[in-house]
């Protein structure tokens, strides 16, 4: 992505803005959901905002620019402040990807309005926002720790299964790194898993 800064600076700017929007919406929604469910930890740490500076992790952002994948700064959550810690934490985890899908859907409706000649310029900046929101939303729903999907599954499993599922958390980062390696004909396991769903949703939105 970063190489576009030299070959196509306008495209780079559009995708970088899209990255800021997608990460900010995602992390803000985690913080908002936690606050609404009774945990103000993220609010006290200044995360209840759409300001990208509050949510960007320097190394995670650099990885996105260089390698095409990365992360935002995790939102601090204390499940002990919830009435139902496991299920409420799952709802907080789900709020991030859900907000990305909602953002993409609303912008896709906006993009389909009859803008005339200005529509091409609008698409230049809105299409990347839609695409990244969908991709980040789907990626984070993968049931691999530390992604949101792991906590979502944990929150809705029966108690006896939840304990066994939680034990997998210690291996999550290793599983995720392996899943991101391009060892399947130049494609990663993650790409193979989410590409069909991503393309289906984007074909509908765009």
State the catalytic residue, choosing from 4, 27, 123, 191: 27
Distances (CA, A) of 189 to 39, 54, 65, 174, 192: 35, 31, 20, 13, 5
Task: Classify residue 61 by burial, with Cβ atoms within 10 Å: 0-12, 13-18, 19+.
Answer: buried
Let me know if 27 is a catalytic residue: yes
Residue pair 89/52 in contact (Cβ under 8 Å)? The answer is no
Q: Whole-angstrom Cα distance, residue 173 to residue 193?
A: 17
C-alpha dihedral, 164 to 174 to 170 to 46, nearest 10°? -120
Q: What are the angstrom distances between the C-alpha of 5 and each of 17, 20, 65, 122?
A: 13, 16, 10, 20
Nearest alpha carbon to residue 181 among 88, 69, 37? 69
| DSSP single-letter state for residue 52 | G
Residues classed as catalytic: 27
């Amino acid at each position: 992505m970063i190489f576009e800064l030299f070959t196509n600076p306008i495209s780079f700017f559009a995708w970088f803005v899209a990255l800021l929007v997608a990460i900010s919406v995602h992390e803000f929604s985690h913080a908002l959901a936690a606050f609404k469910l009774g945990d103000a930890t993220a609010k006290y740490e200044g995360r209840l905002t759409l300001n990208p500076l509050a949510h960007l992790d320097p190394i995670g952002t650099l990885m996105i620019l260089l390698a095409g994948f990365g992360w935002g700064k995790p939102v601090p959550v204390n499940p002990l402040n919830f009435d139902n810690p496991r299920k409420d934490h799952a709802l907080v985890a789900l709020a991030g990807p859900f907000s990305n899908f909602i953002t993409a859907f609303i912008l896709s409706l906006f993009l389909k309005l009859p803008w005339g000649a200005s529509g091409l310029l609008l698409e230049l900046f809105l299409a990347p926002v839609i695409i990244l929101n969908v991709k980040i939303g789907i990626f984070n729903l993968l049931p691999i720790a530390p992604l949101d999907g792991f906590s979502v599954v944990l929150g809705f499993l029966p108690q006896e299964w939840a304990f066994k599922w939680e034990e997998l958390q210690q291996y999550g980062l290793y599983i995720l790194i392996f899943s991101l390696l391009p060892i399947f004909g130049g494609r990663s396991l993650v790409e193979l898993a989410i590409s069909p769903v991503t393309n289906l949703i984007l074909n509908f939105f765009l």
